Amino acid sequence: MSLRTKVILAWVTTTVALFVVLYVALSRILLSQFLQLETLNTLNHVQRARQALDNELETLRATTTDWASWDDSYEFMQTGSEDFVDSNLMPETLETLRLNVLLYVTPAGAVFRGRAYDLQTRQLLPLPADLLAQLPALHQLTLSAPGGPMSGLLVLPEGPLIFAVQPILTSHEQGPPRGALLMARFLDAPQVELLSDLIQGSVTVQSIQQADPLLPAATLHTLLDTAGTVMVLPLDDQTVTGYVALTDIYGSPALLLRVSNDREIYQATLITVRLIGLALLLIGIVFGVLAVILLERVLLTRVSRLAADVHAIGTDDATLALRTGVTGSDELTGLARSINSMLDRLAASHQARLDSEARYRSMVEQSSEGILLVNVQTRAIMDANPRVCELLGYTLAEICTVTLYDLVALAPPALDANIERVLTSGHFHVAERHYRRRDGTLIPVEVTAALLQIENRQAISVLLHDITQRKQMELVAREQQTLTEALRDTAAALSSTLDFDELLDRILDNVGKVLPHDTSEIMLITGDIAQIVRVRGYNEPNLAAFVLSLRFRVEETANLRHMLQTGLPLAIPDTRTFPGWVALPEIAWLRSLAGAPIRRKGVMVGLVTVGSATAGFYQQAHAERLQAFADQAGVAIENAHLYEAVQQHAAEMEERVAERTHALLEANVKLRELDVMKSQFVSNVSHELRTPLANIKLYLTLLASGKPERHAQYMTTLHREANLLHRLIEDLLQISRLDLDKTTPTLVPVDVNHLLITLAQDREPLVNERGLTLHLLMNAAPLWAQADHRLLIQILTTLMTNAMNYTAAGGTITLRSFVAQSAGAEWVCVAVNDTGPGIPAEEQAQVFNRFFRGQAALHSKVPGTGLGLAICQEIVKLHGGHLTLDSQVGQGSTFTVMLKPALSP
């Protein structure tokens, strides 16, 4: 089959399949969507039918309520008036109201009066017997209904019946009920036809026993189990129906409401789908023909020509001069050009290969890596580049006479195993090996081997990389790592312990891990004297004790003086040639020394030294490495000093914390006392506000509903309670201002004698009215006090009012002004004395508390808020004075205000 046939066949098959899929998908989508629309339309008709039926019931309920709540009906149930029957229970009434049954039922559930009427024949009928049998039950349901008429559906042998029942009350809907009124209407053919007209559809009502035979049993059971659920079923291609079950008054399924509609939407959808299919078929035919013509002209003819040109080039063995002749600017033209370009590259490939071989030979010879070619069978060296000859000390002629066994420092079986790995995998990284030079020395190299084919023979290409320098660096890195680990261990000791002796021992132990030595010491400098405090390596008897007993003057010891002056580590390769070396017979064998200064805050405080019995053992690099341990020793010394300072500071802080804790405990006790006072204050305010408010509410109620002749008494009580509430609120506001420091007295010189005279004159009528005697005892000379005139009047007025309230008729009130000495200071005093009942000793400590009222106030029933004395005390404190109390039971009380004196203006 040619390419042209395959392309046309594939195109036609794809196009047909595409249009078939489109037709099937569109038809299913359209049918699905329009079927949903049809179902929703049917559901809407069913809902409208139910709504129409509910509207009928609502109309029936309204009519029943209108007749049942009517004074004439209420009176008729008592009198049984025939005039009412003749006027209201006529056939015309039933026809006007479209009623089939109208019943007046007694409270016992019996028929009092009733009518049954056929709206079609306009004839009176006997009352339905089955309805009469259910009257007692319906009557009980009516009485137990929460309110409003009871309505619903009943199925009688005569047919389904909708009804409403309402208790008979007066026109004002008052009782007691004298029975019930029942109105009913049969769901007969005219009524159902009326429903059909309302929804503009076909409506039928069926009993459960006579259900539509086309309705599946499972669907019927679903309708009965879930009353109110609407089910939509297509009967055939022309009709779709919707069903819903209607329940009777007892909640049981009683009827099936069916609504039928023509399937106009479905029929229109079928026609639309067929038209779409026909349109797709015509479009597919036209589109297919045009596509085949375009494929033939644009693609297939040119592909055939390109195939012919390529075939001609392939059969031409003599030359590569032929080229394809396809023209244009599309992919086929690109393919033809690519073929032509490939032919051009093939013509030049041979020369390129020759050039490449020359270049790679040059690269191998100039490579910085050694390259060997080894015969797999004989292990002989076939070739080598100049770098290998230089590395191993051979000439090219000489190296081609040896085998791999002569060059690799490895047992022959192990070498053969490596070669077998190369033969198996084609490539093998041998890693590090030692190769033997011509002079017999070994050189470390990194080896990589690969399998090659050369002139039909297997060979191995071996790449050698000199790693001598890397090995030297690794050695240095290992030494550095050892130093780092030792320093890390020392640092860990610094972090884990503050024991100074333990830290010095750990430092010497770690020095031994990094620097080889025969002895090691740590010296500490105190003043100008250096003393060895830790040693290692002095193993002869008593030698360590001798060394620890040594003392050196820094200025007189050359090596110590040098490190002190320069601050740098020092290496002494040979102690016998070092100028100023202190030679001791006991340690004359010590020939080389390295030392590093221990610095604290930039000052040398000691040093770390290591010694060797071998001359020239230590160089400056060893001393510099030792400096790291000396620095850690400096940190240890600094930590020891810091630890001592921290311990001293901690002791001081413990003492301060103890003092602060005691202060906080005292403050906590005060806060608890304040919290208790706050709770008591809120409780007292609530109580004091609640009492006058309760009285005001009570007497307001009495004003509205009490006897008119007592309104004056109620108003007097209301004014008294309102005044009490006003005084309480004013006292609370002043207490609040005092607590918030919003009351600031304006202190000026005040003549207290003049103030007492004014107060006595103002209060004298009220004192005389209560049968009391007022005495005024004033200092002979004018008394001036630092006070706020308004606030001082408030204090004295409160004290004077209390004295008048608690002193019985015939008693005496005395106002005094005088000068007194207290706590080494002079005070201007104003005293208010009464001959009242006095204050018990147990109450005197509480009289200045807010809302406190003693037994005398409770027994005398004197009105008050219990805030007056508390406010007076707060105001006196703002003046910098004192308010005192002196009282004995049965002898009266004296309140004294003590103020700072002032110069006369």
CB atoms within 10 A of CB 181: 27
Highest mean pLDDT among 4-18, 450-464, 682-696, 750-764: 750-764
Average pLDDT of the chain is 81
Enumerate the β-bridge partners of residue 830: 817, 897
Other residues' Cβ atoms within 10 Å of the Cβ of residue 889: 14
Q: Is the pLDDT of residue 90 over 70?
A: yes
pLDDT band at 814 (very low <50, low <70, confident <90, very high): very high
Read off the pLDDT of each residue in 477-482 and give the average, rounded to a whole number: 67
Question: Could you read off the pLDDT of 132-163 as tens digits, one per residue?
Answer: 888 877 776 666 655 556 888 888 888 888 88
**Beta bridge mates, 773:** 812
User: In this predicted structure, what is the pLDDT of residue 454?
Assistant: 79
pLDDT at 881: 92
Report yes or no: 833 and 814 within 8 Å, Cβ to Cβ.
yes
pLDDT for the residue 679: 61
Q: What is the pLDDT of residue 206?
A: 76
Confidence at residue 25, expressed as pLDDT on a 0 to 100 scale: 83
**Which whole number is the average pLDDT over 2-22?**
78
Taking the CB of residue 597, how many other CB atoms lie within 10 A of it?
Answer: 26
* pLDDT the model gives residue 817: 93
CB atoms inside a 10 Å sphere around CB 139: 22
Backbone angles phi, psi at 844, to 5 degrees: -65, -30
Asked if 244 and 211 touch (Cβ cutoff 8 Å), the reply is no
**Per-residue pLDDT at 896:** 94
Q: Is the bond preceding residue 176 a cis peptide, omega within 30 degrees?
A: yes
Q: Which residues pair with 159 in a beta bridge?
A: 156
The percentage of the chain sitting over the pLDDT mark of 90, rounded to a whole number, equals 9
Mean pLDDT within 159-187: 87
Top mean pLDDT of 241-250, 433-442, 624-633, 686-695 is at 433-442
pLDDT at 128 > cutoff 70: yes
Q: What is the pLDDT of residue 780?
A: 83
Give residue 812's pLDDT: 93
The sign of the CA dihedral 670, 674, 679, 684 is positive
Token pair, residue 340, equals 């032509």
Banded model confidence at residue 514, pLDDT cuts 50, 70, 90 = confident
**Strand pairing of 101-105 and 603-612?**
unpaired
DSSP three-state, residue 544: helix
What residues contact 416, with CB distance under 8 A and at least 6 apart?
Answer: none
pLDDT for the residue 818: 93
Residue 813 has pLDDT above 80, yes or no: yes
What backbone phi and psi angles, to 5 degrees, belong to 220? -60, -45
Q: What is the model's pLDDT at position 145?
A: 57
Q: Phi and psi at residue 74, in whole multiples of 5°?
A: -60, -40
The predicted pLDDT at position 834 comes to 93
Q: What is the pLDDT of residues 781-802, one digit of tens each?
A: 889 999 988 888 888 888 988 8
Q: What is the pLDDT, as a whole number, of residue 569?
A: 92
Segment 407-462, tens digit of pLDDT = 888 888 888 888 888 888 877 666 788 889 989 899 898 888 888 887 778 888 88
pLDDT at 147: 55
- Lowest average pLDDT, out of 58-67, 442-451, 555-564, 684-693, goes to 684-693
**Residue 685's pLDDT band (boundaries 50, 70, 90)?**
low
* Contact of 808 with 869, CB cutoff 8 Å: no
Report the pLDDT value the prediction gives residue 899, as an integer from 0 to 100.
93
**Predicted confidence band of residue 584 (pLDDT cuts 50, 70, 90):** confident
Task: Give the pLDDT mean for 239-247.
Answer: 80
Strand partners, 185: 162
Q: What is the pLDDT of residue 623?
A: 87
DSSP element (H, E) containing 520:
strand 519-526
Of the ranges 112-121, 237-246, 473-482, which one carries the lowest mean pLDDT score? 473-482
pLDDT at 77 over 80: yes
pLDDT in tens, 688-721: 566 667 667 767 777 777 778 877 877 887 777 7
Q: How much is the average pLDDT of 597-613?
A: 88
pLDDT at 324 (0 to 100): 73
Check residue 816 and give its pLDDT.
93
